[in-house]
Amino acid sequence: MKSFWKLLPAVCCALFFVVAAPAQMRPPHFGGVWNPVVGAGAAYSLETNGETSEMEMAVIGKEAANGKDGYWFEMTMKSARGTFVMKYLYILDGAQNRVVRMIMQIPGQSPMEMPASMMERAGGSVTQPADIRALSEDVGGESVTTPAGTFACEHFRAKDGSGDAWVAKGVPPYGLIKYKGHDTTMTLVRVITDAKDKITGTPRAMPDMPPLSRPA
């Protein structure tokens, strides 16, 4: 599975093309240590290939799933095309967050929930690391100033050289303050303390799609 470092530049694609491309249905990976606090989150300025957008991620609920505590992790992307929302019900499975439910809403449409069969075709058990430290080199402590304030961070560098992340405590759900890759910069602009679910309406079942055929 691709690491968070390689998936960060594709975060917009994960939101925009989730219906059309089952292979992109995995949630994007963010750096830090998973620390779910219901109602807490963070907003970021995301610059990718010269384009700027705003993204929020927050924990907006708690729900039992498969005999474990599950947390609803919601991502919101604001762009000229409107506001896209995706939320995932995570359960912690060892060192991985495993997705057991996934709901999305695109502008002007009612929300849709992905069927389990489609999630399975997207890669079986859809997981992402709950802690990036095993994927990174600890560069050391640094002070980082963003529009949200100044934070005492730990600087992590991806072992594959794809990017750097600065992580701090007290900014749920992952502690990410800043990320800098080859063509992507992600900067914390505000801490969210009153996060609410942005999905509106009752989710309907997303029409299942047949497996993509592969060239002979």
pLDDT of 3 > 50? The answer is no
Q: What is the mean pLDDT of the chain?
A: 80
Sign of CA dihedral 90, 12, 169, 149: negative
| pLDDT bracket for residue 125 (50, 70, 90) | low
| pLDDT bracket for residue 118 (50, 70, 90) | low
pLDDT at residue 80 in the model? 76
Widest Cα–Cα separation across the chain: 55
pLDDT at residue 117 in the model? 65
What does the pLDDT average to over 115-139? 73
> Higher model confidence: residue 80 or residue 61?
61
When mean pLDDT is compared across 12-16, 139-143, 159-163, 176-180, the lowest value belongs to 12-16
CA–CA gap between residue 27 and residue 11 (Å, rounded): 8
Per residue in 22-42, pLDDT tens? 333 344 445 678 899 999 999
Residue position matching structure tokens 């730990």: 154
pLDDT of 197 > 50? The answer is yes
| pLDDT bracket for residue 120 (50, 70, 90) | low
Per residue in 69-109, pLDDT tens? 999 999 998 877 788 999 999 998 887 888 889 999 998 89
SS (H, E, C) the chain: CCCHHHHHHHHHHHHHCCCCCHHHCCCCCCCCECCCCCCCEEEEEEEECCEEEEEEEEEEEEEEECCEEEEEEEEEEEECCEEEEEEEEEEEECCEEEEEEEEEECCCCCCEECCHHHHHHCCCCCEEECEHHHHEEEEEEEEEEECCEEEEEEEEEECCCCEEEEECCCCCCCCEEEEEECCEEEEEEEEECCCCCCCCCCCEECCCCCCCCCCC
Per residue in 158-170, pLDDT tens? 888 888 999 998 8
| pLDDT bracket for residue 216 (50, 70, 90) | very low
Pairing of strands 163-167, 41-48: unpaired
Pairing of strands 163-167, 176-181: antiparallel
> Higher model confidence: residue 12 or residue 183?
183
